[in-house]
Structure 1
Amino acid sequence: MTAGRDSGRDVDMRLLELLACPLTKGPLVWNAERGELVSKAARLAYPVRDGIPIMLSSEARALSDDES
């Protein structure tokens, strides 16, 4: 079972259940449209590249006010 097939970014949903935000240790939400894992508490979106979540705050995108 994968998510984000139409965006070319495959992510194993079982893996997503195990991941947490490295800053807040809180849950992450999969944004299939953008191919990102979103931490609402940290207001960051972590990219997924070639099916691998990049869980570095330096690689994360800050969420806009509209997105959070």
Structure 2
Amino acid sequence: MSATLDPYLLEKLVCPVTRTPLRWDAQRRELISDAAGLAYPVRDGVPVLVVREARAL
């Protein structure tokens, strides 16, 4: 996956826990939920928005 995430996709994605917007961390290639304190991985270009797969911040 590139260092960027499709802006249209990012605009549509929300945290499954808090339903708040996510932000893209290009350095770690993760989607960050500041509200939940979780980082969701992106594997092979696919966001994995499963809480048990997330990393605590």
- Per the normalisation by structure 1, the TM-score is 0.77
Q: Which structure 1 residue ranges, 5 or more long, are not aligned?
A: 6-10, 64-68
| 1:5-44 alignment, distance < 5 Å | 11-44=5-38
SS at match of 2:53: coil
Mapped contact 1:38–1:46 kept (Cα < 8 A)? yes
Deviation at 1:3, TM superposition (A): 5.0
Spell out structure 1 runs of 4+ moving beyond 6 A.
none
Please, what is the CA RMSD of the aligned residues?
1.7
Q: Which structure 2 residue ranges, 5 or more long, are not aligned?
A: none
- Per the normalisation by structure 2, the TM-score is 0.90
> Which structure: larger Rg?
1
